[in-house]
Chain A
Amino acid sequence: MILKVENLRKYFGKKNIIKAVDGASFEIERGDVFALLGLNGAGKTTTIKCILDLCKRDTGEIIYNGRDKIAYVPEGKELYGSYKVKKMIEVAKHITEGFDIDKCLEFINEFGIPLDEKVSSLSNGQATQLYLALVLSQRAELYIFDEPTWGLDPVIRNKILDTIKSIPLNGGTVFYTSHILGEVERVADKIAIMHKGKILEIGFLDDIKGSYCAVSIEKMQSKSRSEELGTYGYLYKSTESEDIYIVKKDYAQERNLDFQPIPFELTFEALVLGQKDQGEESNEVR
């Protein structure tokens, strides 16, 4: 285990009204690509900031078992706009322990970023690639990427995802956040789904994908079954003749219900949208 987060809480606002992270717990094993999935505002960035001590946590424990500093690509990819790319690399070398300048220049060359260009003149994609080059040239055991492909075109996005996916091949571990499910499916081994500061589901991506299914119930067939599924499942679609619920596969199997496999997006939707605010009737998918 390289990183363990246990019962992490971080509240904001008067009387701690905003529960950005509300009791999140997870572990990341060495060599994993672990993705934290969630809608915007789920608490993913705050969790990362607490891990990196950029934010002070209210309670909880964070154990990092690495020797080197954690490498981090933030959501905004903010670099020094007034510097030229060459100067930015020099500064990174100066302030980063174990920075391999030759490796960095290789990445810069591969990405085709001009060394004499000002950082502020780079496109969004180039700025992200520059940030990535700086971070990947750092000696690190854990790499954290916060929405690394935000605002990028598909070609650059694929390049970056390929680069991230190759990190474990060199002995690194990846902690990755995103709200783009297709990316996560492509890159991650293990995932955690976060919503309103809480971890709703955690495990291997394939296990989670296979543990939910869709169940159709004819409306006239069984009112009581429909009511039960309304409590234990997420009503995905309702037509004149039938209701389609998303439930755990175990639940469907135990009750001998006919079920259909569902794409990961529907599992995510059911988990996230099935969660009601406090005070509302629970519609948690079980």
Chain B
Amino acid sequence: MAKEFYDLRVRAITVLAITIILFFVIAPFQKLSVSMLEGYTDNPAMEKFMPKGFTERLKEWNFYINSQWYGKNFGQIIPIIGIIIAFPLFSREFESGTIAFLLVRRSRRDVFISKFLAGLLVTACVMFVESSLPPLYSLIMSKNYDLDLYFKAMLQSVFAGVLWYNVGMFFSTIFRDQVKPILASLGILALTTTVGFLKGLRFLNTYPYALCSKILESGTIDVPYTIGVVAVSIVLVVFSYGAFKNSEV
């Protein structure tokens, strides 16, 4: 798997760096955000978008950082991070012709397992590090932070990231260039999100899960949805392996 980690290093470091920068655009500016929002308190047009008392709650550190990080900025990019890590896994090898170099030396099963596990591990680590930024920052800045919510949000972030990693990997095994897997994965993300606005198809929208909506509202993990995410991930892995096993070079 050393080769796979080596291949993933640039993407993983770039994603981590961008997300850490994003975090530092949010975390240190609690007071500024609150004061800006207070300026709109008497604006009737804003009442539609901001629940009553929201600005007051933002003054509380835990609510501010959890809602702005898990519930907004980080949560929104979780699917994209999963897709970015996965889309070139196999398609880059097919596109550049290097897949033959691997397949005459290793069995298809070995090649698939190395690539899948390396990507999975990197995705999970990126999700873990990024979702751990609020407690780390709180510790450094000596702010009180509720770790119970962090553990739950971290778990859901990892599962959501892994789901979209598997979507990206599936398309990476069936297409022979790098553009189609990313377009197809983003297309599925857009489609499931849009269709998920329809009544009865809400489960297709993975954003409430990635944004930890239930955790932020009630403090509990969305267990049924997590089971669904794991089940869909397993199905995607099986299909990806089937596609790769029968692929022609």
Chain A residues proximal to chain B, CB less than 8 Å: 49, 52-56, 69-72, 74, 76, 78-81, 87, 91, 94-97, 138
Report which of A55, A78, A87, A94 forms a contact with B98, defined as CB distance below 8 A: A78
What distance in Å separates the Cβ of A120 from its nearest Cβ neighbour in chain B? 10
Whether A69 lies near B249 (C-beta < 8 A) is no
Decide if B147 is an interface residue (CB 8 Å cutoff): no
Total inter-chain residue pairs, C-beta < 8 Å = 48
**What residues of chain B lie closer than 8 Å to A54, measured between beta carbons?**
100, 103-104, 248-249
Chain B residues proximal to chain A, CB less than 8 Å: 2-3, 6, 96-98, 100-106, 246, 248-249
A53 to B106, CA, bound (A): 12
What distance in Å separates the Cβ of B164 from its nearest Cβ neighbour in chain A? 25
Whether B104 lies near A70 (C-beta < 8 A) is yes
Whether B96 lies near A78 (C-beta < 8 A) is yes
**What residues of chain A lie closer than 8 Å to B2, measured between beta carbons?**
91, 94
What distance in Å separates the Cβ of B129 from its nearest Cβ neighbour in chain A? 25
Given contacts A52-B104, A78-B98, contact A94 B3 (CB under 8 A): yes
A248 to B13, CA, bound (A): 67
**What residues of chain B lie closer than 8 Å to A87, measured between beta carbons?**
6
Report which of B96, B101, B105, B248 forms a contact with A69, defined as CB distance below 8 A: B105
What distance in Å separates the Cβ of B249 from its nearest Cβ neighbour in chain A? 4
**What residues of chain A lie closer than 8 Å to B6, measured between beta carbons?**
87, 91
Whether B248 lies near A78 (C-beta < 8 A) is no
Report which of A55, A80, A95, A97 forms a contact with B249, defined as CB distance below 8 A: A55
Main secondary structure on A side of the interface with B = loop
**What residues of chain A lie closer than 8 Å to B105, measured between beta carbons?**
69, 95-97, 138
**What residues of chain A lie closer than 8 Å to B96, measured between beta carbons?**
78, 80-81
Nearest CB in chain B to that of A96: its residue: B105
- A54-B248, A72-B104, A80-B101 given; name 10 further pairs at CB < 8 Å: A49-B248, A52-B100, A52-B104, A54-B100, A54-B103, A69-B104, A70-B104, A74-B100, A95-B102, A97-B105
Please, could you name 23 A-B residue pairs with CB atoms under 8 Å apart, sorted by A? Answer: A49-B248, A52-B100, A52-B103, A52-B104, A54-B104, A54-B248, A55-B248, A56-B246, A69-B105, A72-B100, A74-B97, A74-B100, A78-B96, A78-B97, A78-B98, A78-B100, A79-B98, A80-B96, A80-B98, A91-B3, A94-B2, A95-B105, A97-B105
> Which 7 A-B pairs rank lowest in CB-CB distance, beginning with the nearest?
A78-B97, A54-B249, A72-B104, A96-B105, A95-B105, A91-B3, A55-B248
A91 to B103, CA, bound (A): 14
**What residues of chain B lie closer than 8 Å to A96, measured between beta carbons?**
105
Given contacts A94-B2, A94-B3, A97-B105, contact A49 B97 (CB under 8 A): no
A96 to B102, CA, bound (A): 9
A76 to B106, CA, bound (A): 19
Report which of B3, B101, B104, B248 forms a contact with A79, defined as CB distance below 8 A: B101
**What residues of chain A lie closer than 8 Å to B249, measured between beta carbons?**
49, 54-55
Nearest CB in chain A to that of B104: its residue: A72
**What residues of chain B lie closer than 8 Å to A49, measured between beta carbons?**
248-249
**What residues of chain A lie closer than 8 Å to B97, measured between beta carbons?**
74, 76, 78
**What residues of chain B lie closer than 8 Å to A78, measured between beta carbons?**
96-98, 100-101
**What residues of chain A lie closer than 8 Å to B98, measured between beta carbons?**
78-80
A81 to B96, CA, bound (A): 9
Nearest CB in chain B to that of A52: its residue: B104
A74 to B104, CA, bound (A): 10
